[in-house]
Amino acid sequence: MNIDSDTKLYCLIGNPISKSLSPMIHNLIFQLNSMNAKYLAFNIDNAEYLEKAVDGIRALGIGGFNITIPYKIEIMKYIDEIDEKAKILGAINTVLNINGKLRGFNTDGDGFVKSLRDREIDIKDKKVALIGAGGAAHSIAVSLAFEGIKELVIINRTTQNAYKLKKLVEDVFPNIHINCYEIGRETSIPKDIDILINTTPIGMYPDADSVPISPRLFSTSTIFYDIIYKPQKTKWILEAEKLGCKTFGGLDMLINQAIYSQKIWNKSLMNDSIDWNYIKGEVLKNIINSLQI
């Protein structure tokens, strides 16, 4: 590990951060691009210290940082400028520091959309369903709306939260048709879904035997996307594959959102000559080895 006075520092802040893959992902990206930079993780176990942490980042000239739970919303109070999508979401996960001026972004939804584009999955004018209405669902819903989907179906345990997400999207994208349904009342859910996305932790290790909703309720032409990455293929995805459906897991989204953060921090990484497919492959191998998935 080569560290000198020119080494640029980036970091993650949140609570807890002990299981985060961000340090491994970002430091490998720095290494593969021969960048004199390091990425650390800082646990802020008390919200009262959040503003002081941000002041410290400004004062120390840390180039940029990521934010994870539970501070993605609260930290916005201490950021100077907020990107348009992040304003709509009301949450940020990436911050760029330019001479003490902090700009906030949210790369989660963009990372999801990129994983579809990479596989030449067309999103425009499609009917998309989200299982869940939490933070990940918010990011994905807004990004899909920006991409021009025609219809959004929100399936959640509590319809109250589903309707909150519906209002958030409708306020900015009034032309998108949105309906909400409750998990447990599957017979009322439309079957003609183009892309079905699980944004909940249902099926995540160690609860690997659970599925959010039966894949058999949908057409075999439906694309199933589970943002969970441990296990790499959830039971839900395996059941959909048995039906002959096209499926995706969550590792691509995880890596893509990190790459978007990197590009926000470092303009040099926007260079077309960079082989991101190779870099993503190396990161993926390291994650799989690390998680043993």
User: Does domain 8-106+252-291 sit in CATH 3.40.50.10860?
Assistant: yes
Q: How far is CA 197 from the centre of its chain?
A: 13
In this prediction, residue 230 carries a pLDDT of 87
What per-residue confidence (pLDDT) applies to 2?
84
Q: Do domains 8-106+252-291 and 110-249 have the same CATH topology?
A: yes
Q: Looking at domain 110-249, does it have CATH number 3.50.50.60?
A: no
- pLDDT per position as a tens digit, 135-152: 899 999 999 999 999 999
Domain regions of the chain by residue span: 8-106+252-291, 110-249
Q: H helices then E strands: how many in the chain?
A: 9, 12
Taking the C-alpha atoms of residue 14 and residue 158, their distance in angstroms, rounded to an integer, is 27
Residues of the chain with pLDDT under 50: none
pLDDT for 291: 78
- Set 72, 85, 126, 233: catalytic member: 72
Q: Is 72 annotated as catalytic?
A: yes
Give dist(CA 189, CA 282) in Å, integer.
40
Q: Which pLDDT belongs to residue 293? A: 53
The arrangement of strands across the sheet holding 94-98 comes to: 37-43, 8-14, 64-67, 94-98, 101-105, 81-82
Q: What is the pLDDT of residue 1?
A: 66
pTM of the model: 0.91
- Of 207, 198, 195, which is closest to residue 237 (Cα–Cα)? 198
For residue 60, the model assigns a pLDDT of: 96
Distances (CA, A) of 12 to 39, 65, 167: 8, 5, 31
